[in-house]
Amino acid sequence: MSGTARVVVHPPSSSGGRRVTVGAENLGVAYGVVDVIEFLRRAGVAPDDMQLEDPRLVDWRGGGPAVWSKPGEG
């Protein structure tokens, strides 16, 4: 993914899941890290390069990979 926009995992929604985008492209809604990994794979990220904690690759907004619901929910 060198030279491309990093993946943004948006804050959890009230209906569940987190929207995932790269640049202006909506990749879908993730309900767990397995979904984020699949979106990265579809975006062309090699399995060896999938470091979910690397802020150069993934911009976690509203909480990191362990957060899948809004505070006070779930």
The pTM score is 0.85
Put the strands of the sheet holding 7-12 in their side by side order: 25-30, 18-22, 7-12, 58-60
| Cα separation, 20 vs 56, whole angstroms | 15
* Exposure on the CB side of residue 47, measured as CA atoms within 13 A: 1
End-to-end CA distance of the chain, in Å? 33
Q: How confident is the model at residue 30 (pLDDT cuts 50, 70, 90)?
A: very high
What pLDDT is recorded for position 49?
Answer: 85
Percentage of residues of the chain with pLDDT beyond 90: 51
Residue closest to 20 by CA, chosen among 7, 4, 31, 1 = 7
Residue range 32-49, pLDDT digits in tens? 999 999 998 888 888 888
Residue range 46-72, pLDDT digits in tens? 888 888 998 988 999 999 999 998 777
